[in-house]
Chains A and B, each alone.
Chain A
Amino acid sequence: MPITIKLDDLLHARRMTLTDLSERVDITLANLSILKTGKAKAIRFSTLEAICHELGCQPGDLLGFEGE
């Protein structure tokens, strides 16, 4: 899929683990792991809002597009 998730980079930059983020945004670790590994088919606005709020970033920082 040409849409990429840059959650790993954002977490690394903030010295935060996926478990920490999971506790702060109240989303299961399993779901965040699906998102991080690019296996998610869709993302809710509420999820995007919670992650951006906790990581202090914009949706564009989390999502990328890799065209051909």
Chain B
Amino acid sequence: MNAGTSSAYAFEGAAVALGGQTVWSQADLSVPIGDFAALIGPNGAGKTTMLRVLLGQIPLSAGSCTVFGDPPRRGNPAIGYVPQHYDEMDTDSIRAIDVVQLALGGERWGPRRSSSEDDDRAYAALERVGAAHVARRRLSQVSGGEQQRVAIAQALVSEPDLLFLDEPLANLDITSSHDIVELLRSLATDRQLSMLVVVHDLDPLVAILDGAVHILDGRPHYDPLETVLDSDLLTRLYRAPVEVIRTADGDVFTKGR
């Protein structure tokens, strides 16, 4: 980490293109360390692309970008990543704890025995996300919500300073979704950990978010949550009428008009 920096990640005049097509451009934003931000925008706006730029997997076509003050690079150990898909993997052939352990030096070449210390760290990470009870089970034998916890434990085990989650609430039932939100709430209390979460629906996270990166008309912005919770902004963002409703108790939710 660049010692002088106060931003977790930042863009300056940044643009990105895939296959010659500009995905988004003119990104000028800086998100402070410890911030819990949502990443929102319509389908195809380039939300996952933004994560992949910050992960150093896709180069910018213009401008610049930093993660903790340094240019993005592949394999940055400061970032933990929870992708959206599990469907590629054979969940019957691996245990939860193995999946977590792979994030501890699994990228290193050459023969290496996993130490009992790695085992302890992986177990501790599973404990932190409330999934220690499934540690020795095959992934195929744990529920969708528990699989999501295992994925979060895998991202947390190397103690990153920045956590990316891509649609962590997708395909979960209400109870599991609520449990994951509670887990994110507890992670958000760690002010050294910055989080960026791709979501379709802000409502479940409204109480715990600090702000949101939103990609509006092909241009990413960052605003504090209060600014984002605006009927006009959300309506333009989703290209469908959305109303922000504030109850007397101070609860906020959004509603399609």
Instruction: Decide whether A and B are members of one complex.
Output: no
